[in-house]
C-alpha cells in the first residue's frame, strides 16, 4: 500500500451537510476505513451522528484541529457562499502535499487558488444528489499542481459514490452543473408533472403520485442497467398508432420537450457562470 495516500494520511471533510454526509457514507459503504477521516462542521446536527463512530474525529472549526492532522485530501463540502470566509483557514495544508477537492457549485479553480495560494493543488468536482445512494455522477477537473497520487485519491473518493469523469477544460463545468448537478431536480419535476397530469386525467391523487414515482424510479433503474441508448428504450415501448405514440407526438412536437429542456439547461449554465464571478 502506498504510504503517502489518502488511505494512510487521511481525509479532512470540511462541511458535513447533505453532500458531505453522502460522501462519507459512500466511503464507508465502499469499504474505506473511516478511521483517518476528520470532520469539520460547526453544527451538532448531521455531523454529530458520526461522533465516536468508525474512528472518525470531529472538530467544530479549523482552529480546533490538532497540529498533527496532515491530510492527503481536504474535501470542501461547504456552501459556495461561505467558501471565501472559511477556506483561507486551511491554507497551511497547501504546502504539505495535500489536494483540495472542492464540490462547491460555481467556484472556479482560480477562485480557490486565490484563497489557498498559487501553489495549491486543487480539484474542482461537480457531484450530484444520487451520490447519497451510491448512484452519483461526478465530473472533475484538476489544476497543474495535482500529481498522479492525489488525482487517484480524488478519483477513489468520488468513485465510491458513483460514476466519475475527468475533464481537462474547466469551462465545461458550467454545462456539467446544468446537466448532471442540477439534473436530478428536472427528473423530480417530471415525476411531479406526471402525477399532476394523472390527476387531471381522472386518477385519485394517491394513485397518481405513487404511479408517477414508481414509473420514474423504475425507468431510471432500467436505464442504468440497460446497455441500450435512451432513444432505443423509448422506441421499444412505442407501438405505431398506440397510446405512447399519441403522448410522444405531443412531447416531441417542435418547440416542446427538447426545446424546453435545452432552454432550461442553457439558463442553468448561464447561472453557473454568474455564480463563479
Ligand X SMILES: NC(=O)c1ccc[n+]([C@@H]2O[C@H](COP(=O)([O-])OP(=O)(O)OC[C@H]3O[C@@H](n4cnc5c(N)ncnc54)[C@H](OP(=O)(O)O)[C@@H]3O)[C@@H](O)[C@H]2O)c1
Least Å from the CB of residue 52 to ligand X: 18
Q: What are phi and psi of 73, to 5 degrees?
A: -130, 130
| End-to-end CA separation in angstroms for the chain | 41
Nearer Cβ to ligand X (102/143): 102
Nearer Cβ to ligand X (28/211): 28
Nearer Cβ to ligand X (6/24): 24
Binders of ligand X among residues 35 to 94 (CB under 6 A) are 40-43, 46, 77-80, 82, 86
Least Å from the CB of residue 156 to ligand X: 19
Per CB under 6 A, 128 contacts ligand X: yes
H or E segment at 142? strand 136-142
**Could you write out the DSSP letters of every residue in 100-112?**
EEE--TT--HHHH
Among 65, 74, 104, 268, binds ligand X (CB under 6 A): 104
Contact 28, 56 (CB under 8 A): no
The owner of cell 480557490 is 112
Closest-approach residue to ligand X (CB): 17
> What string marks each residue from 203 to 242 as x (binds ligand X by CB under 6 A) or -?
----------------------------------------
Give the Cα separation of 161 and 127 in Å (integer).
9
Least Å from the CB of residue 118 to ligand X: 23
Q: Kindly list the strands in the beta sheet with 136-142, ordered across the sheet, starting from the edge strand earlier in the chain.
A: 57-59, 37-40, 11-14, 73-76, 99-102, 121-126, 136-142, 162-166
Per CB under 6 A, 176 contacts ligand X: no
| Residues that bind ligand X in the complex, under the rule CB under 6 A | 14-20, 40-43, 46, 77-80, 82, 86, 103-105, 126-129, 181
Amino acid at each position: 500500500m502506498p504510504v503517502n495516500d489518502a488511505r494512510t494520511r487521511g481525509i479532512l471533510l470540511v462541511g458535513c451537510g447533505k453532500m458531505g454526509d453522502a460522501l462519507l457514507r459512500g466511503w464507508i459503504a465502499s469499504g474505506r476505513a473511516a478511521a483517518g477521516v476528520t470532520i469539520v462542521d460547526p453544527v451538532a446536527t448531521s455531523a454529530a451522528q458520526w461522533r465516536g463512530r468508525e474512528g472518525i474525529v470531529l472538530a467544530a472549526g479549523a482552529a480546533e484541529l490538532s497540529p498533527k492532522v496532515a491530510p492527503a485530501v481536504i474535501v470542501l463540502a461547504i456552501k459556495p457562499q461561505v467558501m471565501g470566509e472559511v477556506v483561507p483557514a486551511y491554507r497551511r495544508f497547501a504546502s504539505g502535499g495535500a489536494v483540495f477537492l472542492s464540490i462547491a457549485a460555481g467556484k472556479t479553480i482560480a477562485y480557490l487558488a486565490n484563497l489557498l495560494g498559487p501553489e495549491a493543488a486543487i480539484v474542482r468536482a461537480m457531484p450530484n444528489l444520487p451520490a447519497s445512494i451510491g448512484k452519483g455522477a461526478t465530473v472533475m477537473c484538476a489544476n497543474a499542481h495535482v500529481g498522479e497520487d492525489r488525482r487517484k485519491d480524488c478519483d477513489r473518493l468520488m468513485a465510491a459514490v458513483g460514476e466519475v469523469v475527468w475533464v481537462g477544460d474547466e469551462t465545461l463545468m458550467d454545462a456539467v452543473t446544468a446537466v448532471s448537478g442540477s439534473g436530478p431536480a428536472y427528473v423530480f419535476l417530471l415525476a411531479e408533472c406526471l402525477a399532476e397530469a394523472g390527476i387531471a386525467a381522472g386518477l385519485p391523487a394517491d394513485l397518481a403520485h405513487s404511479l408517477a414515482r414508481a414509473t420514474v424510479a423504475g425507468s431510471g433503474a432500467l436505464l442504468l442497467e440497460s446497455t441500450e441508448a435512451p432513444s432505443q428504450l423509448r422506441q421499444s415501448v412505442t407501438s405505431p398508432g398506440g397510446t405512447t405514440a399519441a403522448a410522444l407526438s405531443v412531447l416531441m412536437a417542435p418547440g416542446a420537450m427538447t426545446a424546453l429542456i435545452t432552454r432550461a439547461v442553457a439558463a442553468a449554465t448561464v447561472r453557473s457562470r454568474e455564480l463563479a464571478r
